[in-house]
Structure 1
Amino acid sequence: MNRFDLNLLVALNALLEEGSVTRAARRLNLSQPATSSALRRLREAFGDEILVANGKRMVPTPHALSLAPMVAEALGSMQALLASSTLFDPATSQRVFRIAASDYVITVAVVPLLRELAVTAPGIGVEMRSPNSGTTADLERGTVDLIISPEQFQSAGHPRDLLFEERHVILGCRDNPIFSAPITEDIYARVGHVVVEVSNTLSFVEEFVRTRGDRRRIEVVASSFTSVPWMLAGTNRVALVHERLAHAFVDKLPLAFAAPPFDIPPMREMVQYHRTRAQDEGLRWLRNALISQTTQDDIARSSASPPGA
């Protein structure tokens, strides 16, 4: 340790992820000779080539691949150490938080919080990212601070807090005849449906519906949750959507919603963070702020009459 420059771990992480000295140099904001020098020093320190040429690309050696998860965790621990080394004051902090969440979560949970932070924590920055198959790896690498997603889509290897529980409702145009009488399963199955698939991944409710047996006539497949209400207005199509999302749109569009004709288990929306960041005061503040905001919104909505229902 006395002879090893810990900054080389940052270079090693970039080299392994980019597979290119040129791209790693750009990411590290270093010159290509400086990055090549870092690779040479890493080869000497580990007694391994780390990256080897394969045609026009460079690929990690087996030993380098075995180092990758340990390097990511070490960098995460160092980031947590730096984050916890000073007291966190949201009123004066200039910190930028990176959150992976769907457009639905952004609409119903993050946007209301951002309005509050504009007043109470004006220096705080937030970078939103869409979840994908590599999001857990981003959490491991420390390039994402929080993942907000349904419980079953999260890794069991990191802690998480319950943000809220969500129900699903049938959303459609206010003039849709389906809302003129109780909705039966036969009526529900006969009408046209809009469903959501993000990156070829089924949503929580789609996975449930298709597992129980699906007789719907699917007419439109959308790539985002917030686009669905716009696709329903002026049509006789319906969609199974999050109740919070339905509430967010019934005042903006001529829509109504009703309970589905079968039971759907509540969806548990969780906030997940890296296990090494449990003592990060900034992340703890942000998690608590998100939970507090959604709790306040739930209380306000429950005390009001449900519009469009």
Structure 2
Amino acid sequence: MRFKGLDLNLLGAFDVLLETRSVSHAARQMNLSQPAMSAALMRLREFFDDELLVVQGKRMYPTAYAEALVPQVRECLRSVEAMLVTASRFDPATTHRTFRLVVSDYVVTAVIAPVLQQLSSIAPNIRIELTLPSDAAQADFREGRADIFVAPEQFVVAEHPSDLFFEERHVVVGWRENPVFEPVLDRKAFLAAGHVAVRIGGRRDFAFADRQLNQMGLERRIEIETPSFTTVPWLLAGTPRLALMQERLARRMVESFPLRWAQIPFAFAPMREMIQFHRSRASDEGLQWLLSKLREAASQAHRNDE
């Protein structure tokens, strides 16, 4: 298909070439031969009358004109994709859609996994791709390469719609034989204990719990840092360490690990977990269907934990 002399298939090649900055890598990603991708780059150069990618040493670098084109090309591709996914009625029983979610392992364990069990029967052909939050994953969401982004309120992407997914309380979790829980865990013992903390993404940002403690002027003694919420139980069992954990996750973890949990011995604000979709997908019937299923699962999990 051509539009004003441009083969529209070349826009997809442009996007991948600028992302990978490599003809061979772009060819593999698009399941094309390297000569075919080289030919696509040549045709793009001819159409735009610009080198677009310039070889320096063993790498390729985009020209200033190419970098200026990137957001326009990606917006065009998002619009085309939105048109295609809304072109016909969405039927979960027959669709082969792929949905991409940026979501923490905690939310997967507490909310997403149960709803995926249901979807295996009512939408047997859908594919779900889960990605942990990071700068790169957030960039994918901004660029429309991810459909749904779930994160605490302070991490939302401002330019896209966001709604409250659920509120979550935090609790203190430790080995069930830890004497610190007897008779009742108090503030002094909590702060004196060694702790396991979660750091998120490539920059190892503080998770909600530590951000909240910092705002309260409280500092705990961190003995272990881990990038994953679901690794925390392995680091508590058989030790005197403690951790702050989301209550939904704690309830599930004590079923499988020799752990116990208690209320935090001081006031601690709940976490507001938000859910977002890309603003270009507001009329995407399939995406809105999936969002409704996720919200139902979050609501059901809340009722079950009460």
Q: Which amino acid aligns with 1:111?
A: A
CA RMSD of aligned residues (A): 1.5
- Which one of 86, 94, 97 corresponds to residue 96 of structure 2? 94
Q: Which amino acid aligns with 2:115?
A: L
CA deviation digits over 1:54-86, x for unaligned, max 9? 111000111111111222222111111111111
Normalised TM-score (structure 1): 0.93
What is the rounded CA distance, in whole Å, between the counterparts of 2:40 and 2:26 in structure 1?
Answer: 11
Alignment of 1:83-162 (within 5 A): 83-162=85-164
What is the rounded CA distance, in whole Å, between the counterparts of 2:48 and 2:82 in structure 1?
Answer: 25
Q: Which amino acid aligns with 2:10?
A: L
- Which one of 229, 235, 246 corresponds to residue 233 of structure 2? 229
Q: Give the match for residue 287 of structure 1.
A: 291
What is the rounded CA distance, in whole Å, between the counterparts of 1:41 and 1:94 in structure 2?
Answer: 33
Q: Which amino acid aligns with 1:26?
A: R
Contact 1:75 1:142 in 2 (8 A): no
What is the rounded CA distance, in whole Å, between the counterparts of 2:156 and 2:56 in structure 1?
Answer: 35
Unaligned runs of 5+ in 1: 303-309
Alignment of 1:52-91 (within 5 A): 52-91=54-93
Q: Give the match for residue 209 of structure 2.
A: 205
Report how far residue 2 of structure 1 moved. 2.9
Q: Which amino acid aligns with 1:283?
A: L
Deviates more, 1:148-157 or 1:237-246: 148-157
Q: Give the match for residue 253 of structure 2.
A: 249
Q: Which amino acid aligns with 2:71?
A: P
Deviates more, 1:236-245 or 1:66-75: 66-75
Q: Matched residue pairs, number?
A: 302
The 3-state SS of whatever aligns with 1:186 is helix
Q: Which amino acid aligns with 1:233?
A: A
Q: Give the match for residue 52 of structure 2.
A: 50
Contact 2:171 2:264 in 1 (8 A): yes
CA deviation digits over 1:149-169, x for unaligned, max 9? 112112101112221111111
The 3-state SS of whatever aligns with 1:143 is coil
The 3-state SS of whatever aligns with 1:251 is coil
Report how far residue 281 of structure 1 moved. 0.7
Unaligned runs of 5+ in 2: none
Q: Which amino acid aligns with 1:30?
A: L
What is the rounded CA distance, in whole Å, between the counterparts of 1:68 and 1:264 in structure 2?
Answer: 44
CA deviation digits over 1:99-131, x for unaligned, max 9? 111111110111001111122221222111122
1:272 has 2:260 as partner = no
**Identity rate of aligned residues, in percent?**
47
Give 4+ residue runs of structure 1 displaced > 4 Å after superposition: none
The 3-state SS of whatever aligns with 1:227 is helix
Contact 1:91 1:121 in 2 (8 A): yes
CA deviation digits over 1:16-74, x for unaligned, max 9? 00001111111111122221121122122222211011111000111111111222222
Q: Which amino acid aligns with 1:120?
A: I
